[in-house]
Amino acid sequence: MPRRRQGTELPFMGKLDRTKGELGRQLTLVLREAIRAGELKPGESLPSTRYLAGTIGISRGLVTNAFEQLIAEGFLEAQAGSSTRVSSSLSAVPVSTAQRRARKPAAAPKLPPRAAAFAEAARQFTPLPPVPFAVSVPIGPTSPDDTWRKLGNRTRGLRAAAPSGYDDPQGVPALRAAIADYVRKSRSVHCAPEQVIVTAGTQQGLYLACQILLEPADLAWVEDPAYRGITGILEATGAGERMMRVPVDESGIDVDAGIRAAPHARVAFVTPSHQYPLGMPLSMARRTALVTWARENGAWIVEDDYDSELRYVGHPFPSLQGLAPDRTIYLGTFSKILFPSLRLGYAIVPEHLVPAFCGARGLMDRHPPSADQHTLAAYIAEGHLDRHIRRVRLVYAERRQHLISTIEARIPAKRAWLQPGDQGMHVVLWLADGIDDVAVAAKAMESGVAVRPVSPLYTPGRRRPGLILGLGGYPDAQTEEAVNRLGAVIATAARARNSSARRTVA
């Protein structure tokens, strides 16, 4: 049963008017109305008469009289040796029409454009439930092993790992050193620990980059289709009209098309290791062309190194940052490869941009939680992250192959087919023309299957219907059942499309 602590303040006591006198009667009225309005809930404890009298500055006798009156009316109840409470029987008391009218909120004011854009982003970033095929849901063999818990317990026992004051907005030195060493060996990134800024995931890194690199009149290249996280930031911060969407083909972002559309753009936001959502890497010829354009125009490249750890055939391309460390802001995260709630990532920036990123980081949320940084630093330095990635890569490779074969066997190719690819945490399932992927995703959710539609990631004139299916540690039987349910939803949508086409012809 809910309780109020003895010293809890009651804000509605501010309604007492000492100029009108009869404070005891006023107190009775105020408490009665607070109970009726739901400011005090059934079963909640009130402060003691002594405490309440002292806080509002009236005699204890007046408070006692008010309590006794409300007990007699059935609003309060008292038991020997216990505090006075709001009567639990009031939970069934109906609310009068007058009270409902009084409580009815006024019509919400129209949101300013930027507030409306943020509200839309909140809707689109609602997390999917942990069922197939939500992206990056660590289950079973894809979850970090017990080593993470043990390291967490160890580091939290150290005073340095749990400081009581503010910490460095750039991140703790041990983690920055571990990250610099990790990306050097695994991604051919050229940096020193002093260039690493620890972030709350890639999303914060993108937000910081937009705030720091773009002036009000600057143009930015963004892939088409693109991760909703970057397009949403630019739209919500008023830069949507200055976002130049550059088409993506089998070789990645079309640099020549970007130059034709906006040769003097200030920033190019790219996912060169594993284009999101389509999955192809940026070819070496396109990488060279992108770096050449950036150098010649004094532009920046923001490299979101999405899913670079999970290539299942051959070796991954090295980072783009290694080709142009002076023009590239390199973003990575541990939230997907470990677990999304970790919220730890990093930005690696040219030395002269470090103060700007640290300042913006400090203004945003001071610094990331220190204890988890120390745990992650130990996890990387002691080799656990490398072992975890190898394990996850094997599990995802098996799950991916099983998912592909199940889809090909159970969903007819005339309705849906898979985008070729050999890396990443998700696959793209294209849908036949005329099938509404947004509606299919909503119906799939009703059937217990979590997918994301592809078409909203494109500009309106280039949209294609498709679904993003994430890999995870789901058992084969659960995956097969989810494919069956998804196939049934797609079949229903295809029949509806065919029926509509026949009516149009008739």
Name the residue ranges covered by the structural domains of the chain.
23-89, 114-126+145-383, 388-504
- What span, in angstroms and rounded, lies between the C-alpha atoms of 436 and 113? 28
pLDDT digits (tens, 9 = 90+) for 382-432: 999 999 999 888 888 899 999 999 999 999 999 999 998 888 889 999 999
Domain 23-89 sits in CATH at: 1.10.10.10
Dihedral in degrees, nearest 10, Cα atoms 415, 420, 425, 426: -20
**pLDDT interval class at 99 (50, 70, 90):** low
- What span, in angstroms and rounded, lies between the C-alpha atoms of 457 and 276? 9
- What span, in angstroms and rounded, lies between the C-alpha atoms of 288 and 253? 12
Task: Give the pLDDT score at 412.
Answer: 96
SS3 assignment, position 329: strand
**Global confidence as pTM:** 0.81
Task: Give the pLDDT score at 115.
Answer: 84
Dihedral in degrees, nearest 10, Cα atoms 64, 67, 73, 79: -100
What would you report as the CA-atom Rg of the chain, rounded to the nearest whole angstrom?
29
**pLDDT interval class at 149 (50, 70, 90):** confident
Average pLDDT over residues 151-164: 72
Residue with tokens 């290694």: 322
| Those residues with Cβ within 8 angstroms of residue 379's Cβ, 6 or more apart along the chain or in another chain | 147, 148, 151, 385
SS3 assignment, position 132: coil
- What span, in angstroms and rounded, lies between the C-alpha atoms of 243 and 234? 7
Closest by Cα among 180, 138, 148 to 374 = 148
Residue with tokens 């079973």: 140
Asked whether the CA dihedral 186, 191, 197, 202 is positive or negative, the reply is: negative
Task: Give, in degrees to the nearest 5, the angle at Cα 278 between 275 and 280.
Answer: 55
Closest by Cα among 143, 147, 144 to 155 = 147
Residue with tokens 């909203």: 456
Instruction: Could you please state the CATH topology (level 3) that the domain comprising 388-504 is classified under.
Output: Aspartate Aminotransferase, domain 1 (3.90.1150)
Instruction: Could you please state the CATH topology (level 3) that the domain comprising 114-126+145-383 is classified under.
Output: Aspartate Aminotransferase; domain 2 (3.40.640)
Q: How many CB atoms lie within 10 A of CB 225?
A: 25
pLDDT(175) > 50: yes
- What span, in angstroms and rounded, lies between the C-alpha atoms of 162 and 443? 46
pLDDT digits (tens, 9 = 90+) for 427-450: 999 999 999 999 999 999 999 999
Closest by Cα among 227, 215, 173 to 196 = 173
pLDDT digits (tens, 9 = 90+) for 484-494: 999 999 999 99
CA distance readout (Å), 461 to 194, 249, 464? 44, 16, 9
Range from 96-105, 437-446, 496-505 that averages highest in pLDDT: 437-446
pLDDT digits (tens, 9 = 90+) for 206-238: 999 999 999 999 999 999 999 999 999 999 888
pLDDT(503) > 70: no
Closest by Cα among 190, 169, 171, 170 to 181 = 190
- What span, in angstroms and rounded, lies between the C-alpha atoms of 169 and 365? 8
- What span, in angstroms and rounded, lies between the C-alpha atoms of 5 and 192? 52
CB 315 within 8 A of CB 289: no
- What span, in angstroms and rounded, lies between the C-alpha atoms of 218 and 240? 11
CB 176 within 8 A of CB 167: no
The tokens for 361 are: 């980081």
**Peptide bond between residue 317 and the one before it cis (omega within 30 degrees of 0):** no
